Amino acid sequence: MLEDYRRAHKRAVFGTVAEINAFAIGAQMIDPYVTVYLKWFSAKDYDWKRKLAEEDVRIVSARDYLDPSDPAEPWGLYRIGDDGTAEHLAEPIWKWGRYYALMVRSIRNETWEEEAVGRRGKALNYWWGMSAGVVDVRLAPCIPYGQQVLVEGIRQSLLTGRINPFSGELQKQGGAVVHEGPERLSSEEIVRMSWLNANVVGRLPEQRELSREGLEKVEVSGVIPLDPSTLPHRGTAS
């Protein structure tokens, strides 16, 4: 049985759970028996690398970009060999130039103002992805040709809307159905997800488990409840 694994490298903020579930659902399309192990980068006093090694995890999805302060740290999707070395497999591409061009265009044609009137009192969301040319994927040369063809087929299906990870039947941990039918979840339902797909082994972190930096991020836009009276604030002793 083919198994795939993921470490959630971001904080428990809006959109992160959707990224985890999209990965898990996508892996499940290839292998219905796939298992995804979830580890939190923002947890304090926690060695996620050791935990993954103990669980014999060989395929890891880490941070989406190279860390300039530690260029030797593996990133993107990579495979851990028997000797412990990491082989880079793939990474997402963020085309910020395209994003800002779309943003400026929305301002120039005043669509942003029309949206603001319709959503008065709510934050505007400019959520552009692969179909808008803002996000893409790059495969490493080591990926076999057949798998490259498969990835390109899935990519084209995403671009044309034939495949959407958040449409059809969706099951959360425990097997309960949270969505069914051909329509996709709304953007708000996706970004505010607080449940994990059925094939994910792990859970959302609790407040006491988060590092100081993680707490600051979650306090602003987190999907887990926090007790304000116990939060560390800048300028105060921890």
Long-range contacts of 110-119 (CB under 8 A, 24+ apart): none
**Bridge partner list, 80:** 86
Reported as a single tens digit per residue, the pLDDT across 145-177 is 999 999 999 999 999 989 999 999 999 999 999
114, pLDDT greater than 90: no
Reported as a single tens digit per residue, the pLDDT across 120-137 is 545 445 567 788 888 899
Q: What are the residue ranges of helices labelled H in 34-144?
A: 48-54, 96-108, 111-118
Calculate the dihedral angle through the C-alpha atoms of 181, 184, 188, 190, rounding to the nearest 10 degrees: 100
Encoded tokens for 155? 């990519």
Encoded tokens for 91? 């990474």
Mean pLDDT of the chain: 80
Residue 115 is predicted with a pLDDT of 54
Residue 206 is predicted with a pLDDT of 76
**23 CB neighbour count, 10 Å cutoff:** 21
For the chain, percent of residues with pLDDT exceeding 70 = 74
**Residue position matching structure tokens 């671009």:** 159
Global pTM value: 0.78
Residue 143 is predicted with a pLDDT of 96
Backbone angles phi, psi at 86, to 5 degrees: -105, 130
Distance from chain centroid for Cα 45:
23
Contact 124, 115 (CB under 8 A): yes
Residue 35 is predicted with a pLDDT of 92
**212 CB neighbour count, 10 Å cutoff:** 11
Encoded tokens for 105? 């265009």
Between 5 and 143, the higher pLDDT residue: 143
Residue 8 is predicted with a pLDDT of 40
Reported as a single tens digit per residue, the pLDDT across 181-232 is 889 998 888 888 889 999 999 988 776 767 666 666 665 556 666 666 666 5
Which residues are CB-contacts of 120 (< 8 A; sequence separation ≥ 6)? none
Residue 46 is predicted with a pLDDT of 74
Encoded tokens for 211? 């590092």
